[in-house]
Amino acid sequence: MTSIPFYHVDAFASRAFAGNQAAVMPLTEWLPDAVMQQIAAENNVAETAFFVPGAGDGADYDLRWFTPAVEVDLCGHATLASAHVLDREEVRFSTRSGILSVTRTDSLLWLDMPTSSLAPAAPGGEADAIGAEVSGVWAVTGGNGGAVVLVKDEATLRSLEPDFAKVAACANGFIIATAAGNTVDFVSRVFCPTFGIDEDPVTGSAHCALTPFWAERLGKTRMTAVQASARSGNLECLLKGPRVILGGTCFTVIEGRFQL
Report the pLDDT value the prediction gives residue 56, as an integer from 0 to 100: 81
Query: 3-state DSSP call for residue 23?
Result: strand
Report the pLDDT value the prediction gives residue 57, as an integer from 0 to 100: 82
Report the pLDDT value the prediction gives residue 171, as an integer from 0 to 100: 82
Q: Inter-axis angle of helices 76-86 and 204-218, to 10 degrees?
A: 110
Residues 7 and 252: beta-carbon distance below 8 Å: yes
Q: How far apart are CA 201 and CA 191, in angstroms?
A: 9
Does the model's pTM come out above 0.75?
A: yes
| Cβ burial 7-16 (10 Å sphere, 16+ → b, else e) | bbbbbbbeee
DSSP string, 109-159: EEEEEEPPEEEE----SHHHHHTS--S-EEEEESTT--EEEE-S-HHHHHT
Report the pLDDT value the prediction gives residue 32, as an integer from 0 to 100: 98
Which residues are CB-contacts of 128 (< 8 A; sequence separation ≥ 6)?
163, 166
Residues 252 and 22: beta-carbon distance below 8 Å: no
Report the pLDDT value the prediction gives residue 55, as an integer from 0 to 100: 87
Query: 3-state DSSP call for residue 205?
Result: helix
Q: How far apart are CA 187 and CA 45, in angstroms?
A: 22
- Catalytic sites, residue numbers: 47
Which residues are CB-contacts of 224 (< 8 A; sequence separation ≥ 6)?
181, 184, 185, 234, 235, 236, 237
Q: How far is CA 236 from CA 19, 107, 172, 190, 198, in A?
A: 13, 12, 27, 17, 24
Report the pLDDT value the prediction gives residue 206, as an integer from 0 to 100: 98
pLDDT by residue for the chain (260 residues), tens only, comes to: 899 999 999 999 999 999 999 999 999 999 999 999 999 999 999 999 999 999 888 999 999 999 999 999 999 999 999 999 999 999 999 999 999 999 999 889 999 999 999 999 999 999 999 999 999 999 999 999 999 999 999 999 999 999 999 999 998 899 999 999 999 999 999 999 999 999 999 999 999 999 999 999 999 999 999 999 999 999 999 999 999 999 999 999 999 999 99
Upper half-sphere CA count for residue 136 (Cβ side, 13 Å): 11
Q: How far apart are CA 79 and CA 237, in angstroms?
A: 16
Report the pLDDT value the prediction gives residue 98, as an integer from 0 to 100: 96
Query: Within 10 A of 245 (CB to CB), how many other CB atoms are there?
Result: 18
